[in-house]
Chain A
Amino acid sequence: MNFILKKWPLIAYLLLISASSYAQNKFTISGEVTDAETGEALIGVTIYTADKTVGTMTNTYGFYSLTLPEGEQTVLYSFVGYQTQQRDIKLTANQSIKIQLAVNETALNEVVVSAEKKDKNIAATQMTGEKLDMKTIDKLPVLFGERDVLKTIQLLPGISTVSEGGNGFSVRGGSIDQNLILLDEAPVYSASHLMGFFSVFNADAIKGMTVYKSGIPANYGGRAASVLDITMRDGNMKKFQGSGGIGLLASRLTLEGPIIEDKMSFIVSGRRSYADLIAKGANQIDDGTQMYFYDLNAKLNWKINDNNRLFLSGYFGKDDFGFEDMGMDWGNTTATLRWNHLFSSQLFSNTTALYSEYDYGFNFGDRGSMSSGIKDVSLKQDFTWYANPQNTMKYGLNATYHTFYPGEFLFEDNSISDIKVPEKQALESSLYISNEQKIGTKLTLDYGVRASMFNQFGPGENITYDDDNNIIDKAYFDKGDVMQTFYGVEPRLGLNYRFNTKSSFKASYNRMVQYLHLMSNSTSGQPTDTWMPSSFNIEPTIVNQYSVGFFRNFMDNAFEFSAETYYKTLNNISDYKDGTQVMLNENIESYVLQGEGRSYGLELYLKKKYGDFTGWVSYTLSNTNNKIEGINNGDWYDSSYDKTHDVSIVTSYQFTERVSISANWIFYTGNAVTFPSGKYEFDGNQVPYYTERNGYRMPDYHRLDLNIHLEGKGNKRINSSWDFSLYNLYNQMNAYTINFRENETNPNVTEAVKLSLFGIIPSVTWNFKF
């Protein structure tokens, strides 16, 4: 590791020497691209020369750097929904060029931008980094009138819902804990409100997001299946404004504006549900009952000067359920402090300090209380070196100190000893280096490696168990002692070959090592699931993924088509022994069974991006299996996340300037589940008899949703719009669970009972902006 650290400039130099050797005099243009109206940094703006031979894109902070030969140059800046800007530059020295792009007013509704570089999907090196902007999300039908970024990504190929309404999602057969969800770089450990029916991400506070399923760049790590990188908005640098919405279940308000014009801005966005207030009003629940969630996003953005910028952002959210003095609550807190610094026009640095916490608790009134959670403190240093137009190198390091609170029960009565599952501590650290290299005009390579290390520290015990979960040996470690160490070397490779401007071939390989494990014996995820470190008894999960894809655009780029296929092998995936209780189980490690897994699939995606009629069709055919000693005789069995077919059809039609209608239809194969294959009588009860795990399937799931969006008349102080939604339009009673039990009136008769959560649900939301 030290070798790589010390020698990287040399290695980098050797890599780049071929590209630089023919250069005569070259200079760099660099700077920031922002929205002309709000000052918000724009991510992913394409910057290219008029002859289209050289180009780059703005990074997460809106920064770009492009090195060009001396002399006259014409450079274009283009971005979806904005007017393309052209700059004629006489290049005789490095130049800082700040660009403000204006919204293309005529294109606001139609999203037709003639100068837009429409073939971005073909040219982009990223294999499957799918970017979603909030405009797309705004138009989709919603449940209870709440727009939801996590629901939207589940409509993409390879990403599937794990249960009705739930926010836990599975990427290419991965479990829900294999997704790294980042909000302004801070990991979010539990991304759902209200038992999983709403995500914690308030759409008003979000600028955009990128989801990676394969070819995951080396600067991300720590989860096995995917990365969902969500960026919060920076706040309007030009003027004060507000926006919000009033819905059936929750309302939201966002305020933003400059503190110092063009220098410092803020944004504060809050949301609270009020189902409890309505239910109390309607006498459905008692006054002492609590049942709500709230969240608050806040961000401060300070451009100190051209070379330095500071961001401070935070998220606070909570769910609260209960009645009288008993109840439960859970929530996340994250905080991110970032410093962008330009060492030169070609070297961009981002220094980040992070805090993230998730916890949940129960309150049992005068008997006691219980709590559990995880806390992270993290430091991160990332560099981007825009060496030349052919090579962009990223490198950096990251250290995260995790503290795990698996659970404790504190009794009010002091005569009873409290139950405390000991805290665990671990340091996760990593180094990475990667280079995006353009070879000729057709081939782009992105190659890199991430080296990771995980140390579990004392105080703690390494416990040896026998097969019946009995303790047979213990080794005690003092505070600060290293209890267990794991290493990972994670190569990341991506390749993009452009046949022409219409079609390209992409291939990637990545290895991911995951050191954290979510202890959960449900598929969909519950707030009470507990995070645990890799340890003496639990090995890190390792995934190797191979992926190839063909991308083609039709009809002047109005249609995008892609076909991708992947194959994954997983080592040390976890399942549980029969009847495992996760909560407050101090010996949970002995109940974890680890084995291997595999997943492969084909993903087809056809998208229409422009015109009055837009939308996409996505289809995934896949297979995911596990093989774990101790389950189903050690044979391969279907994973709980295996979905053979998964179809999403998303459409939106702009009828007039003010009226648009959108609809989506979803179909997927039912989850693999465990049903009985017999029954027996015990102590007067009819008991189901189970013979194998995941041997059956839930019924197939399908649903149609509809949304009508009405834009209010403009030219007022307040712009308003209405959203009328119908969730599950044809009232399909999809199965949430199927339970097997005795008939209530005749206990000798056993029956299967399907529980459905949502029939047709209408909702209305009024949105405003001032």
Chain B
Amino acid sequence: MKRYIFHKAMFFLSLSALLGGLLQSCEEVIDIDLNDAAPKLVIDGQIVIGEPATVRISYTSDYFSDDEAAYEENASITITDSENNSENLSYIENGIYTGALLRGKPGLEYSLSITIDDKTHKGKSKILTPTQIVKLGYTEFDGFGGSQDEPEYNIVITLTNNTEEDNYYMVKYFINGSEKEDTYSLWSNEYFPNEETIEFTPLRFSFTKDDVVTVKAYSIDEGTYDYYSELDEIIDQQGGGSSTPFNPGSNFGKDVLGYFRAWSYDQQTVQVEDE
């Protein structure tokens, strides 16, 4: 599961070169008949350092449906840390539940227990040592070039790394204050086990001179890394859609979609300076 970096590099190098550069490939939105599956439970839960847990419980909907997904209002949710502190979450609205007292701390593992109609689902995740963005810069993209008049830039990011721990990192890129990230990158500690700081130039995200880019660097555990790797396969199918798609594996088991993750993040903003 940790082969993410190679997989993406392959698609980037080969398919984008071929499809983008050479051939007159074309994309078109089409109508297609899809079955309507029975609704399935979806849990989107997280706890961040210094903040209480939040959980959103909803159900799957038809793929082309524009309606808001159905959500669950009657779940009973408890979060417990590895020091045996626990708290019941309260329902707010739109399927969202939050805690108030129990806040995320590094080094602790959190268990989330959710009971709906006498059925209980449990998931676990651990907050590892937070990472810090030591430096955030950019470099001009000098890849295939030629086709764009406007120069494109890649982020150059330096993060702290705890060499004593098996860390995993996720970096989300937000453009011009957007709430939702443009895309994200994942890295596993096995490529930099002994480095105190690690520098990356992720090629999958590029931006232009007018963009203000906010970067959030998350420190995540192995399970979260695997889940987001799988999720990326599904939501970012560009060019590579030939492998069999699937549902990313939940830490609540096979009856549930979604994930519960405990994590921390650091954020910074960058913009291309006038020369």
Chain A residues engaging chain B, CB cutoff 8 angstroms:
163, 194-195, 275, 279, 283-286, 288-289, 291, 321-324, 326-328, 362, 364, 370, 409, 411, 415-417, 419, 521-524, 526-528, 576, 578-579, 581, 583-585, 674-691, 693-696, 733, 735-742, 747-759
Task: With both chains docked as a complex, state the minimum distance between the C-beta of B37 and any C-beta of chain A, in angstroms.
Answer: 4
Name which of B7-15, B73-81, B115-123, B125-133 contacts chain A: B7-15
CB-CB under 8 A from A751, the residues of chain B are 29, 64
Q: Are B191 and A416 in contact (CB under 8 A)?
A: yes
Q: Are A691 and B246 in contact (CB under 8 A)?
A: no
Q: Are A675 and B42 in contact (CB under 8 A)?
A: no
B191 touches which one: A411, A689, A735, A754 (CB < 8 A)? A411
Nearest chain B residue, comparing its CB with the CB of A327: B13
Q: Complex Cα distance A750/B65, Å?
A: 8
Q: Are A687 and B13 in contact (CB under 8 A)?
A: no
Q: Mark B1-35, 1 if CB is under 8 A from A, else 0.
A: 10110110110011101110111111111111011
B26 touches which one: A284, A747, A759 (CB < 8 A)? A759
Pick the 8 closest A-B CB pairs, nearest first: A578-B246, A677-B37, A522-B242, A737-B241, A678-B60, A521-B243, A739-B237, A581-B3
Q: Are B3 and A750 in contact (CB under 8 A)?
A: no
Can you report 13 A-B residue pairs in the complex whose CB atoms are below 8 A from each other? A285-B144, A285-B146, A291-B18, A324-B143, A328-B10, A362-B6, A523-B242, A677-B63, A685-B231, A685-B235, A736-B25, A755-B26, A756-B28
Q: Are B258 and A680 in contact (CB under 8 A)?
A: yes
Secondary structure type dominating chain B contacts:
loop
Q: Are A756 and B25 in contact (CB under 8 A)?
A: yes
Q: Are B6 and A758 in contact (CB under 8 A)?
A: no
Q: Are A328 and B34 in contact (CB under 8 A)?
A: no
Chain B residues engaging chain A, CB cutoff 8 angstroms:
1, 3-4, 6-7, 9-10, 13-15, 17-19, 21-32, 34-37, 39-40, 42, 44, 56, 58-66, 69, 142-147, 179-181, 190-195, 230-231, 233-235, 237-239, 241-249, 257-259
B181 touches which one: A676, A684, A737 (CB < 8 A)? A684
CB-CB under 8 A from A411, the residues of chain B are 191
Q: Complex Cα distance A680/B21, Å?
A: 34
CB-CB under 8 A from A737, the residues of chain B are 237, 239, 241-242
Chain A CB within 10 A, most for which of B3, B27, B36 = B3
Q: Complex Cα distance A252/B22, Å?
A: 20
CB-CB under 8 A from B143, the residues of chain A are 286, 323-324
A691 touches which one: B29, B31, B37, B64 (CB < 8 A)? B37
Given A682-B42, A691-B35, A755-B25, answer yes or no on A328-B14 (Cβ-Cβ < 8 Å).
Answer: yes
CB-CB under 8 A from B234, the residues of chain A are 687-688
CB-CB under 8 A from A322, the residues of chain B are 13
Q: Are A749 and B29 in contact (CB under 8 A)?
A: no
Q: Complex Cα distance A685/B61, Å?
A: 14
CB-CB under 8 A from A288, the residues of chain B are 142
Q: Complex Cα distance A681/B61, Å?
A: 9
CB-CB under 8 A from B144, the residues of chain A are 285-286, 289, 323
Q: Complex Cα distance A675/B235, Å?
A: 13
Q: Complex Cα distance A521/B242, Å?
A: 8
Given A327-B13, A689-B247, A739-B237, answer yes or no on A680-B63 (Cβ-Cβ < 8 Å).
Answer: no
Nearest chain A residue, comparing its CB with the CB of B241: A737
Nearest chain B residue, comparing its CB with the CB of A640: B244
CB-CB under 8 A from A689, the residues of chain B are 37, 40, 60, 63, 247, 257
Nearest chain B residue, comparing its CB with the CB of A419: B190
B42 touches which one: A163, A419, A680, A755 (CB < 8 A)? A680
Given A283-B146, A684-B180, answer yes or no on A741-B237 (Cβ-Cβ < 8 Å).
Answer: yes
Nearest chain A residue, comparing its CB with the CB of B144: A285
CB-CB under 8 A from A754, the residues of chain B are 27-30
Q: Are A690 and B245 in contact (CB under 8 A)?
A: yes
Q: Are A578 and B60 in contact (CB under 8 A)?
A: no
Q: Are A678 and B36 in contact (CB under 8 A)?
A: yes
B230 touches which one: A327, A579, A680, A741 (CB < 8 A)? A579
Q: Are B192 and A416 in contact (CB under 8 A)?
A: yes
Q: Complex Cα distance A733/B194, Å?
A: 51
Q: Are B60 and A690 in contact (CB under 8 A)?
A: no
A757 touches which one: B25, B31, B44, B231 (CB < 8 A)? B25
Given A682-B44, A687-B235, answer yes or no on A286-B146 (Cβ-Cβ < 8 Å).
Answer: yes
Q: Are A750 and B64 in contact (CB under 8 A)?
A: yes
Q: Complex Cα distance A349/B170, Å?
A: 63
Q: Complex Cα distance A291/B29, Å?
A: 30
Q: Complex Cα distance A527/B144, Å?
A: 21
Nearest chain B residue, comparing its CB with the CB of A162: B242
CB-CB under 8 A from B259, the residues of chain A are 682
Task: With both chains docked as a complex, state the minimum distance between the C-beta of B123 and any C-beta of chain A, in angstroms.
Answer: 13
A741 touches which one: B30, B62, B191, B235 (CB < 8 A)? B235
Given A289-B144, A327-B13, A521-B243, answer yes or no on A679-B258 (Cβ-Cβ < 8 Å).
Answer: no
Task: With both chains docked as a complex, state the minimum distance between the C-beta of A527 and any C-beta of chain B, in angstroms.
Answer: 8
Q: Complex Cα distance A742/B22, Å?
A: 26
Q: Are A679 and B60 in contact (CB under 8 A)?
A: yes
CB-CB under 8 A from A759, the residues of chain B are 24, 26
Q: Are B23 and A693 in contact (CB under 8 A)?
A: no
Q: Complex Cα distance A695/B245, Å?
A: 12
Task: With both chains docked as a complex, state the minimum distance between the C-beta of A746 and any C-beta of chain B, in angstroms.
Answer: 10
Q: Complex Cα distance A191/B40, Å?
A: 44
Q: A291-B17, A291-B21, A691-B35 are in contact. List 16 more A-B contacts (CB 8 A).
A: A163-B242, A286-B146, A288-B142, A321-B13, A362-B10, A364-B9, A417-B193, A576-B244, A676-B34, A680-B61, A687-B257, A748-B66, A754-B27, A755-B27, A755-B241, A757-B25
Q: Complex Cα distance A578/B7, Å?
A: 16
Q: Complex Cα distance A688/B231, Å?
A: 10
Task: With both chains docked as a complex, state the minimum distance between the C-beta of A570 and any C-beta of chain B, in angstroms.
Answer: 19
Q: Complex Cα distance A412/B61, Å?
A: 48
Q: Are B179 and A684 in contact (CB under 8 A)?
A: yes
Chain A CB within 10 A, most for which of B231, B233, B237 = B237
CB-CB under 8 A from B3, the residues of chain A are 581, 583-585
Q: Are B17 and A321 in contact (CB under 8 A)?
A: yes
Q: Are B194 and A416 in contact (CB under 8 A)?
A: yes
Q: Complex Cα distance A321/B12, Å?
A: 11
Nearest chain A residue, comparing its CB with the CB of B42: A680
Task: With both chains docked as a complex, state the minimum distance between the C-beta of A372 and any C-beta of chain B, in angstroms.
Answer: 10
Q: Complex Cα distance A110/B41, Å?
A: 69
Q: Are A579 and B246 in contact (CB under 8 A)?
A: yes
Q: Complex Cα distance A678/B63, Å?
A: 4
CB-CB under 8 A from A685, the residues of chain B are 180, 231, 235
Chain B CB within 10 A, most for which of A289, A681, A690 = A681
Q: Complex Cα distance A230/B239, Å?
A: 33
Q: Are A524 and B44 in contact (CB under 8 A)?
A: no
Q: Are A680 and B60 in contact (CB under 8 A)?
A: yes
CB-CB under 8 A from B230, the residues of chain A are 579
Q: Complex Cα distance A416/B5, Å?
A: 16
Q: Are B60 and A758 in contact (CB under 8 A)?
A: no
Nearest chain A residue, comparing its CB with the CB of B29: A751
CB-CB under 8 A from B13, the residues of chain A are 321-323, 326-328, 362
CB-CB under 8 A from A756, the residues of chain B are 25-28
Q: Complex Cα distance A676/B4, Å?
A: 23
Chain B CB within 10 A, most for which of A370, A733, A757 = A757
Q: Complex Cα distance A225/B13, Å?
A: 33
Q: Complex Cα distance A683/B36, Å?
A: 23
CB-CB under 8 A from B245, the residues of chain A are 674, 676, 688, 690
Task: With both chains docked as a complex, state the minimum distance between the C-beta of A386 and any C-beta of chain B, in angstroms.
Answer: 49
Q: Complex Cα distance A679/B179, Å?
A: 21
Task: With both chains docked as a complex, state the minimum distance between the C-beta of B21 and any C-beta of chain A, in angstroms.
Answer: 6
Q: Complex Cα distance A581/B56, Å?
A: 30
Q: Complex Cα distance A327/B63, Å?
A: 37
CB-CB under 8 A from A687, the residues of chain B are 231, 234-235, 248, 257
Q: Are B257 and A284 in contact (CB under 8 A)?
A: no
Q: Are A690 and B247 in contact (CB under 8 A)?
A: yes
Task: With both chains docked as a complex, state the minimum distance between the C-beta of B224 and any C-beta of chain A, in angstroms.
Answer: 11
Q: Complex Cα distance A690/B257, Å?
A: 11
Q: Are B10 and A528 in contact (CB under 8 A)?
A: yes
B9 touches which one: A362, A678, A742 (CB < 8 A)? A362
